[in-house]
Structure 1
Amino acid sequence: MSGPYLCPGCKTNRTRFNVIEQIPKGIKMDPQSGEIVEEYSNDNLDMFHIPYQGSKYRVQCAACGLIENEETFIARANSQKNPFLS
Protein backbone atom coordinates (compact mmCIF):
# COMPACT_ATOMS: atom_id res chain seq x y z
CA MET A 1 0.00 0.00 0.00
CA SER A 2 1.72 3.06 -1.28
CA GLY A 3 -0.62 5.95 -0.61
CA PRO A 4 -4.07 7.03 0.46
CA TYR A 5 -7.15 5.41 -1.09
CA LEU A 6 -10.46 6.86 -2.25
CA CYS A 7 -13.14 4.56 -3.59
CA PRO A 8 -13.83 5.31 -7.27
CA GLY A 9 -17.31 3.81 -6.91
CA CYS A 10 -18.94 5.52 -3.96
CA LYS A 11 -16.43 8.42 -4.00
CA THR A 12 -16.72 8.96 -0.23
CA ASN A 13 -14.84 6.12 1.49
CA ARG A 14 -11.25 6.96 2.38
CA THR A 15 -10.83 4.72 5.44
CA ARG A 16 -12.44 1.25 5.23
CA PHE A 17 -11.05 -1.28 2.75
CA ASN A 18 -10.33 -4.98 2.36
CA VAL A 19 -6.98 -5.86 0.79
CA ILE A 20 -7.22 -9.13 -1.12
CA GLU A 21 -3.97 -11.00 -1.72
CA GLN A 22 -4.13 -12.96 -4.94
CA ILE A 23 -2.25 -16.26 -4.92
CA PRO A 24 -2.46 -17.85 -8.36
CA LYS A 25 -2.42 -21.61 -8.71
CA GLY A 26 -1.82 -23.10 -12.14
CA ILE A 27 -3.96 -26.14 -12.91
CA LYS A 28 -4.92 -28.39 -15.82
CA MET A 29 -8.52 -29.61 -15.84
CA ASP A 30 -10.29 -32.50 -17.50
CA PRO A 31 -12.63 -30.79 -20.00
CA GLN A 32 -15.52 -33.23 -19.45
CA SER A 33 -15.51 -33.74 -15.68
CA GLY A 34 -13.85 -30.52 -14.50
CA GLU A 35 -11.51 -32.50 -12.26
CA ILE A 36 -8.02 -31.17 -11.71
CA VAL A 37 -5.61 -33.54 -13.42
CA GLU A 38 -2.39 -31.60 -12.85
CA GLU A 39 -1.16 -28.69 -10.72
CA TYR A 40 1.66 -26.42 -11.78
CA SER A 41 4.08 -24.18 -9.94
CA ASN A 42 5.91 -21.33 -11.67
CA ASP A 43 8.91 -23.66 -11.91
CA ASN A 44 7.17 -26.47 -13.81
CA LEU A 45 4.72 -24.81 -16.24
CA ASP A 46 4.33 -26.59 -19.55
CA MET A 47 4.91 -24.72 -22.81
CA PHE A 48 1.18 -24.00 -23.32
CA HIS A 49 0.55 -22.58 -19.84
CA ILE A 50 1.14 -18.83 -19.50
CA PRO A 51 2.11 -17.77 -15.95
CA TYR A 52 -0.21 -15.41 -14.09
CA GLN A 53 0.69 -11.79 -14.80
CA GLY A 54 -2.04 -9.96 -12.91
CA SER A 55 -1.79 -7.79 -9.83
CA LYS A 56 -0.63 -9.22 -6.52
CA TYR A 57 -3.32 -7.33 -4.59
CA ARG A 58 -6.87 -6.19 -5.20
CA VAL A 59 -8.75 -3.76 -3.00
CA GLN A 60 -12.41 -3.89 -2.00
CA CYS A 61 -14.25 -0.84 -0.69
CA ALA A 62 -15.76 -1.90 2.63
CA ALA A 63 -18.58 0.64 2.16
CA CYS A 64 -19.95 -0.18 -1.32
CA GLY A 65 -18.18 -3.48 -2.17
CA LEU A 66 -16.39 -2.36 -5.35
CA ILE A 67 -13.28 -4.47 -6.12
CA GLU A 68 -10.51 -2.96 -8.28
CA ASN A 69 -6.74 -2.84 -8.61
CA GLU A 70 -4.98 -0.89 -5.88
CA GLU A 71 -3.76 1.67 -8.43
CA THR A 72 -7.36 2.67 -9.19
CA PHE A 73 -8.04 3.58 -5.55
CA ILE A 74 -4.73 5.47 -5.28
CA ALA A 75 -5.32 7.38 -8.53
CA ARG A 76 -8.79 8.44 -7.37
CA ALA A 77 -7.37 9.68 -4.06
CA ASN A 78 -4.64 11.62 -5.88
CA SER A 79 -7.15 13.23 -8.23
CA GLN A 80 -9.36 14.46 -5.37
CA LYS A 81 -8.00 16.93 -2.85
CA ASN A 82 -8.63 15.65 0.69
CA PRO A 83 -10.88 18.20 2.46
CA PHE A 84 -9.44 17.12 5.83
CA LEU A 85 -5.96 18.29 4.84
CA SER A 86 -6.99 21.84 3.84
Structure 2
Amino acid sequence: MSSPYLCPNCKTNRTRFNIIEQQVKSVKLNPQTGDVVEQLDQSALDPFHISYKGPEYRIQCGTCGLIEDEISFIKRAQNNQ
Protein backbone atom coordinates (compact mmCIF):
# COMPACT_ATOMS: atom_id res chain seq x y z
CA MET A 1 0.00 0.00 0.00
CA SER A 2 2.80 2.40 -0.74
CA SER A 3 1.59 3.25 -4.24
CA PRO A 4 -0.74 6.08 -5.25
CA TYR A 5 -4.37 5.14 -5.93
CA LEU A 6 -6.92 6.52 -8.37
CA CYS A 7 -10.47 5.19 -8.47
CA PRO A 8 -11.08 3.35 -11.77
CA ASN A 9 -14.79 4.19 -11.60
CA CYS A 10 -15.18 7.86 -10.67
CA LYS A 11 -11.64 8.75 -11.93
CA THR A 12 -11.31 11.71 -9.55
CA ASN A 13 -10.65 10.32 -6.07
CA ARG A 14 -6.98 10.03 -5.16
CA THR A 15 -7.20 10.49 -1.39
CA ARG A 16 -10.25 8.87 0.28
CA PHE A 17 -10.30 5.07 0.47
CA ASN A 18 -11.42 2.27 2.80
CA ILE A 19 -9.15 -0.75 3.24
CA ILE A 20 -11.19 -3.91 3.78
CA GLU A 21 -9.24 -6.69 5.48
CA GLN A 22 -10.49 -10.15 4.59
CA GLN A 23 -10.45 -12.74 7.38
CA VAL A 24 -10.72 -16.27 5.99
CA LYS A 25 -12.62 -18.89 8.00
CA SER A 26 -12.99 -22.32 6.43
CA VAL A 27 -16.10 -24.16 7.61
CA LYS A 28 -18.26 -27.20 6.91
CA LEU A 29 -22.00 -26.51 6.84
CA ASN A 30 -25.00 -28.72 7.49
CA PRO A 31 -26.63 -28.99 4.02
CA GLN A 32 -30.19 -28.89 5.39
CA THR A 33 -29.92 -26.10 7.98
CA GLY A 34 -26.85 -24.14 6.90
CA ASP A 35 -25.47 -24.27 10.45
CA VAL A 36 -21.70 -24.49 10.91
CA VAL A 37 -20.86 -28.10 11.71
CA GLU A 38 -17.09 -27.72 11.87
CA GLN A 39 -14.54 -24.94 11.60
CA LEU A 40 -11.48 -26.14 9.70
CA ASP A 41 -7.85 -25.17 10.20
CA GLN A 42 -6.21 -23.84 7.01
CA SER A 43 -3.31 -26.29 7.40
CA ALA A 44 -5.59 -29.33 7.81
CA LEU A 45 -8.21 -29.00 5.07
CA ASP A 46 -9.63 -32.19 3.62
CA PRO A 47 -8.84 -33.09 -0.02
CA PHE A 48 -12.17 -31.71 -1.28
CA HIS A 49 -11.77 -28.29 0.36
CA ILE A 50 -9.63 -25.78 -1.56
CA SER A 51 -7.83 -23.18 0.55
CA TYR A 52 -8.54 -19.49 -0.06
CA LYS A 53 -6.12 -17.91 -2.50
CA GLY A 54 -7.69 -14.47 -2.88
CA PRO A 55 -6.35 -11.08 -1.81
CA GLU A 56 -5.66 -10.31 1.85
CA TYR A 57 -7.55 -7.05 1.52
CA ARG A 58 -9.64 -5.04 -0.95
CA ILE A 59 -10.00 -1.31 -1.48
CA GLN A 60 -13.21 0.73 -1.49
CA CYS A 61 -13.38 4.21 -3.03
CA GLY A 62 -14.46 6.68 -0.36
CA THR A 63 -16.25 8.79 -2.98
CA CYS A 64 -18.28 6.44 -5.19
CA GLY A 65 -18.15 3.20 -3.13
CA LEU A 66 -16.52 0.93 -5.75
CA ILE A 67 -14.84 -2.14 -4.18
CA GLU A 68 -12.00 -3.75 -6.15
CA ASP A 69 -8.61 -5.38 -5.69
CA GLU A 70 -5.81 -2.94 -4.89
CA ILE A 71 -4.13 -3.47 -8.26
CA SER A 72 -7.09 -1.85 -10.08
CA PHE A 73 -6.59 1.40 -8.15
CA ILE A 74 -2.79 1.32 -8.58
CA LYS A 75 -2.95 0.67 -12.34
CA ARG A 76 -5.46 3.52 -12.87
CA ALA A 77 -3.12 5.90 -11.00
CA GLN A 78 -0.10 4.75 -13.04
CA ASN A 79 -1.96 5.28 -16.33
CA ASN A 80 -3.15 8.80 -15.35
CA GLN A 81 -0.05 10.51 -13.95
TM-score in same-fold range (> 0.5):
yes
Identity %, equivalent residues:
58
TM-score normalised by length of structure 2? 0.97
Alignment root-mean-square deviation, CA: 0.7
Q: Which residue in 1 is equivalent to 2:33?
A: 33
C-alpha separation between the residues in 2 aligned to 1:2 and 1:29? 39
The code of the aligned residue for 2:69 comes to N
Gaps of 5+ in 1: 82-86
Deviations 1:8-59 (A, max 9, x none): 0100000000001111100010111000001112122111100000001100
Size of the alignment, in residue pairs?
Answer: 81
TM-score normalised by length of structure 1? 0.91
Q: Secondary structure at the match of 1:72?
A: helix
Deviations 1:46-81 (A, max 9, x none): 111000000011000010000000000000000001
